Amino acid sequence: MRVAVIGSGRVGLVTGGCLAAIRHEVACADHDSALIAELEAGRLPIYEPHLDEALRKAREAGRVTFTDNSLRAATSAQFILLCVGVPQLEDGDVDLSALDTAVRQIAPAIDSSQLVVLRTTAPVQTGEQLRHLLSVYGHKPENHIHVAANPHFFREGTAVDDFLHPDRILVGVAESSSAQLLREAYEPILEGKFSCPIHAGCCPPRQAPEMLVTNIQSAELIKYVTNAFLALKISYANVLADLCEQLGGNVQEVSRAIGLDARIGPKFLDAGLGFGGPRLPKDLQAFLKFTESFGVEPGILQGANRVNRTRVDAFFRKIEQCLWVLKEKRIALLGLAYTRNTDDIRGSQAIELWKRLTAAGATVSAYDPRAMTNARDAHPSMTCAADPYQAATRADAMIIATDCEEFKLLDWQRIRGLMARSTVLDGRNLLLPSVMQALGFEYHSVGRPAN
């Protein structure tokens, strides 16, 4: 099929690259001409595992193009995916101006044979508003405009794998013809009939995903309630961590035990610095605002949000208790991205820790395998090390703030020899307390006993 992807940020590039990987012809559009020039030159503005390979193969096969003209991209497309950003406002509401601009740009090209699909996470009832705007700016009867919602559920760091091997595919439609078009578009994924850019040869056997068809409002709501529930699980794990610290329990043992219950499941029960990033905090805030606007008491979700806001505070107090005075202390900070396998620092708890430490007078040397360029661009005063060992040199403490697998594999004996004081504060529970103590470290983590 011929597909237009409007918005070439992280969501748009993953969506466009993966649709091209399953053999659709994709035109990725964005108003940022400089971004388009970078993409046409084969340079990705983001780090996402396997995305560069997927786009490279698609470009070589002639299945993906880039343009700064959204109208041109939409004109010949069978369906158009709206992937533009929806940033959060100070009051917790969302800014829909970029989405409004994109709709006005493509409206003249839309006819009754095309389907406009909302891919961006946006408030419930946005789909109906899109239909109205497309009708007004396209000068066509509203019943000639076909709109659907197709929320994404991929995670940064595993986005390509999540797209090509999803748990489910959700589409919200107003007409059966729209559902049929999207079913045909996703047929290679639903039946496993595509050449995967991640796995050599045939993909490993996986359970075929189900395509769920709902109305548009339900699909929009499902996206928000899913993220709100994941946020709830993370905050619950952090409450358990606080309880374990008071009672001498081990939060990893407790979380593993409850996660083995099929009704609960093990994912998103990791205690630590809480949830961050560009999605979960924003979506939870927007959902709280939305429920309150309809007079629905969000209750437990407010509690989850409140717990999450305290996680960096609690860990910072742990650092202060350990080091006593932070002024003029040398701190090695491992991790700047909000999660592993990404260069995204938006909503990063690691960045918040860096701000707190420097404000307290500490000298911080930071390292992240992928996010240092973005971090230094956003915070020019930040000092970054060439590697973790340079960061550790003469440090009074080392803090693990991002759950990078690479940090598990470091030569910790060497690091101990480089540090002025062999103290590690692990905000992600990456390492084993018994191993770190055997190496001679003073080791602190979240919700786990020291020995």
Q: What are the tens digits of pLDDT across the range 202-252? A: 445 567 789 999 999 999 999 999 999 999 999 999 999 999 999 999 999
Residue 406 lies in a domain: yes
How many domains are there within the chain? 3
Q: What is the reported pLDDT for 123?
A: 86
Per-residue DSSP letter, 94? B
Q: Which residue has the higher pLDDT, 24 or 299?
A: 24
Distance (Å, rounded) from C-alpha 408 to C-alpha 194? 34
> Based on the domain organization, do 158 and 114 belong to the same domain?
yes
pLDDT per residue as tens digits for the range 420-432 = 999 999 999 999 9
Residue 326 lies in a domain: yes
First and final C-alpha spacing in the chain = 58
Q: What are 251's two structure tokens?
A: 């939060």
Distance (Å, rounded) from C-alpha 406 to C-alpha 404? 5
> Based on the domain organization, do 79 and 193 belong to the same domain?
yes
Q: What are 127's two structure tokens?
A: 């789909």
Judged against a pLDDT cut of 90, whether residue 444 lies above it is answered with yes
Q: Which residue has the higher pLDDT, 409 or 451?
A: 409
End-of-domain residue from the set 167, 197, 214? 214
Q: Residue with structure tokens 């990078």? A: 404
> Based on the domain organization, do 323 and 177 belong to the same domain?
no
Residue 450 lies in a domain: no
> Based on the domain organization, do 143 and 28 belong to the same domain?
yes
The 3-state DSSP class for residue 379 equals coil
pTM: 0.91
> Based on the domain organization, do 76 and 171 belong to the same domain?
yes
> Based on the domain organization, do 203 and 249 belong to the same domain?
no
Residue 248 lies in a domain: yes
Q: What is the reported pLDDT for 206?
A: 61
Find the CATH number of the domain harbouring 60. Answer: 3.40.50.720
- Indicate the average pLDDT of the chain: 93
Q: For residue 112, what pLDDT band results from cuts at 50, 70 and 90? A: confident
pLDDT per residue as tens digits for the range 155-170 = 999 999 999 999 999 9
Residue 449 lies in a domain: no
Q: What is the reported pLDDT for 199?
A: 63
> Based on the domain organization, do 24 and 128 belong to the same domain?
yes
Residue 207 lies in a domain: yes
Percent of the chain with pLDDT over 70: 98
Q: Which phi and psi (to 5°) does residue 210 adopt?
A: -100, 140
State how far Cα 359 lies from the chain centre: 28
**Range of 236's domain?**
223-309
> Based on the domain organization, do 145 and 109 belong to the same domain?
yes
> Based on the domain organization, do 289 and 340 belong to the same domain?
no
Q: What is the reported pLDDT for 202?
A: 43
Q: For residue 196, what pLDDT band results from cuts at 50, 70 and 90? A: confident
> Based on the domain organization, do 56 and 15 belong to the same domain?
yes
Residue 451 lies in a domain: no
Judged against a pLDDT cut of 70, whether residue 200 lies above it is answered with no
Can you spell out the DSSP letters for 297-361?
A: --THHHHHHHHHHTHHHHHHHHHHHHHS--TT-EEEEE--SSSTT----TT-HHHHHHHHHHHTT
Q: Residue with structure tokens 């769920």? A: 212
Distance (Å, rounded) from C-alpha 198 to C-alpha 111? 36
> Based on the domain organization, do 108 and 199 belong to the same domain?
yes
> Based on the domain organization, do 13 and 45 belong to the same domain?
yes
Find the CATH number of the domain harbouring 304. Answer: 1.10.1040.10
End-of-domain residue from the set 309, 336, 366? 309
Distance (Å, rounded) from C-alpha 165 to C-alpha 90? 36
Distance (Å, rounded) from C-alpha 426 to C-alpha 275? 16
Q: What is the reported pLDDT for 167?
A: 92
Q: What is the reported pLDDT for 294?
A: 86
By the 10 Å C-beta count (0-12 exposed, 13-18 middle, 19+ buried), 6 is classed as buried
